[in-house]
Structure formats: structure tokens, C-alpha cells
Structure 1
Amino acid sequence: MPGDMDTPNIRPFLDMIAVAELGRALIAKSDNGYNVLVGSTPAAPKLFRSYADHPRQLVLIRAGLSSTAAGRYQVLARWYDIYRRQLGLTDFGPVAQDRIAVQQIRERLALQLIAAGRFDEAVSRVRNIWASLPGAGYGQNEHSLDYLRGIYVQAGGVLA
């Protein structure tokens, strides 16, 4: 819900996810990460131009692995379609992407943990959503909890 963006610590938590998924350099070379396609690197950013809809581009990551992930939180096209209907979204712009991420966090019962500064528990609850979180288990680069905690605190997040 729109008011969830006022939840204490939610913005630093979202910033942490974006840095984990995309990296600071790629965020800096894009529209704060909101227009990034999966497979992008700082040296070769792949950016989409329109927020009218999810870009729906199937990108080959490596042999046997393709993805439609896009945006600041690397949302798959199929999930965007579900959340678009559920949340009444009209586009794939920054506000819509933030609302999707917060809804995913809410569905994992982590919103109150984030508000209370219980960072480690919150990350554990949402790790299956974002491949870059520790314990995600998708065979991609997972960041350490210490590294992510540092990003969160640097972004203004408060730990319990």
C-alpha cells in the first residue's frame, strides 16, 4: 500500500536490495536502477526506455539461464503482471516498482521486522525473492549479510 513507503527503515531496505541486485556503479549509470535489464554491467549497461509496461525482454544470462528480470528490484515479467492487477498499477515506473517490492516484503511478513530494525531476520524472510541475498540458493552471486547490513546502515537504516 502507498502508506507502506512511510514504514520506518523501508527506504534503506529497498536501497540495500537495489545495491545487492545491481551494484552502485550500475545504479549510477541508470535512472537509479529503475530502467536496468538483467545482465547489465557498469561497463555494458542494458537499459530500457519506457516505463509504460514491463520491458518483457528475455535475456540470456548464461547457457541454460534466461530471465525477464528488469528494474531496480529485478522483477520478472510474470510477477509484474500479477502485481499490476493486484495493486492496480498503470505502469512499470519507479513508484510501481517500489510498490511491488514492498508488497513482496509484506507477503513474506518482513515489513514489521524492517520497521523494528530486525534486519537479519527480514533478509532471511525475503531471501528467496532476490538472488543476491545470502541463502537465496539460485546459484548466483550472493552477498554477505555483513556487506548488506553496511549498505542498509549507510542508507539510513536503523538496527535493533
Structure 2
Amino acid sequence: MPFWRHPSPSLQPLSLLLLLGTLPLLCSAATPGQLPAKRIQPLPASNLGSGRVETKGPGLYELTAERRAALETIRYAEGTWKGGSSIGYRILYGGGTFNSFERHPDTVVVKRYASAAAGAYQFLPGTWEAATRSLGLSGFGPASQDQAALHLIERRGALAELDRGVLTDQAINRLAQEWASFPTASGGSAYGQPSKSVEQLRAFHRESLRRHQLRREGAPA
């Protein structure tokens, strides 16, 4: 389905879309666009059930304490954190849920706006398809979603900074180009949607990182 062309990829009010006679599929996560593709070793389907992917192939993402904190912060911003519950991986745009992890649900939800975003990181179908091709992912389960999100973080140039365990202004601005719930350097969402403040994101990130670092060291979180 072709997208309606607009100077900004932000969500459009449903009334305006109906007036124009078109209803595009939109979501809170941005499509990577023209960023260069990176070929990554296919991920063995048998390993997708665990939180950490073990493989001898290059290019797959280890779930370190720093990366877990980054992923959880994105979920917090996107409204899919749900206290750390796995239900966050089943969230559709608008707050509903889907049942099967077999594939991206690709279900359009109309709630003032129209969107087919789904999962913990609110992937658009096209964004998800591109990530699965690059990573060789199978299914839409939690481990696959985590891997795809790390892939998008890396493509936006924020992974190396986040690996240092600090949510810098630069990292936030880069993530804002992918997730509308992150504020840009100029303030507010890049896509005209509600966003978390820098202070809210950093406070959540610090607590998440502290918890995972304690677990890594074997201390009670």
C-alpha cells in the first residue's frame, strides 16, 4: 500500500486523512529510510527462544547489561515496558495485544491515527521486514524483537555510546530519529507525537542499568 506523501512523517489526524481520501499506515517508530544496509550472519531459528542469542556467526548482538538497559528504556518511552512484563512484546499500536509470535501481526489499528505498529519496540511492518532480512530472524518472539531493536540502534549510530552505559544527548537525539517517543536535540518528537523528557529517560535508564549490573555481579537487584 503506497504511503501518502507529506513533508513530515508524523502521524496525521484521522479526520484529515479521511478528508483527503486516503488512510496510510503510520506508527510511532520511524522507517530506517536510506541508511546503508549492513549484511549480518543469519540467526539460527533454534536459538530464538532465549534472551541471549548464542552463535558462532559474526554480527549478532550480545545482550549486555548496558544493552538491556537501553532496550528497556526504549520500551519505557514507547509505552510497552509494563513493569517488565513479557506482555509488552505483544502490544499493538493503541494498547491492544496480539496472540501469535509466528510473524509480525501487520494489523492496522485506528485510534485517532492509523498504525500497524506492533511489539515491544513498535515496529512498522516494513521496518520489521527489513530488519529480519538483514539479521536472518525467524518469527516475532521477544528475542527476535530485541535483536531487531539493537540492529536499528546500531544503524542510527547510537549503539557504541549506549555500550558505555551513558544515555548521552547525542544518543537520545539519534534514537529520536527512530522512535518518536524520544525527544530531539531541539526538543519534542521528530514526528509530532508525545515524547518523554530527557530527565525521565535518563532516570529510567540509570535504574535499569543499575539493576542489570547488580545481576551481572551476582548481587540482589
Deviations 1:67-113 (A, max 9, x none): 11100000011111111111111100001100110000111111110
Aligned residues: 148
Q: TM-score normalized by structure 1? A: 0.84
Q: Among 88, 91, 109, which residue is 1:36 paired with?
A: 91
Secondary structure of residue in 2 paired with 1:60: strand
Secondary structure of residue in 1 paired with 2:110: strand
Q: Among 148, 152, 173, which residue is 1:124 paired with?
A: 173
Deviation at 1:28, TM superposition (A): 4.3
Q: Which amino acid aligns with 2:90?
A: N
Provide structure 1 residue ranges, at least 5 long, that are not aligned to the other structure: 41-45
Q: Please, what is the CA RMSD of the aligned residues? A: 2.0
Q: Partner residue of 1:4?
A: 62
Deviation at 1:2, TM superposition (A): 3.2
Secondary structure of residue in 2 paired with 1:152: helix
Larger Rg: 2
Between the aligned residues of both structures, percent identity stands at 34
Q: Among 81, 84, 90, which residue is 2:132 paired with?
A: 84
Secondary structure of residue in 1 paired with 2:174: helix
* Alpha-carbon distance in structure 2 between the residues aligned to 1:67 and 1:138: 14
Q: Partner residue of 2:192?
A: 139
Alignment of 1:21 with 2:78, yes or no, is yes
Q: Partner residue of 1:56?
A: 106
Does structure 2 retain, via aligned residues, the 8 Å contact 1:34–1:71?
yes
Deviation at 1:3, TM superposition (A): 3.5
Question: Residues 156 and 58 from structure 1, CA distance in 2 versus in 1: closer, same or farther, beyond 3 angstroms?
Answer: same
* Alpha-carbon distance in structure 1 between the residues aligned to 2:127 and 2:153: 14
* Alpha-carbon distance in structure 2 between the residues aligned to 1:30 and 1:155: 14
Does structure 2 retain, via aligned residues, the 8 Å contact 1:117–1:157?
no
Q: Give the structure with the higher percent helix.
A: 1
Deviation beyond 6 Å, 4+ runs, structure 1: none
* Alpha-carbon distance in structure 2 between the residues aligned to 1:148 and 1:28: 15
Provide structure 2 residue ranges, at least 5 long, that are not aligned to the other structure: 1-58, 212-221
Question: Residues 52 and 23 from structure 1, CA distance in 2 versus in 1: closer, same or farther, beyond 3 angstroms?
Answer: closer
Question: Residues 4 and 139 from structure 1, CA distance in 2 versus in 1: closer, same or farther, beyond 3 angstroms?
Answer: same
Q: Partner residue of 1:98?
A: 146
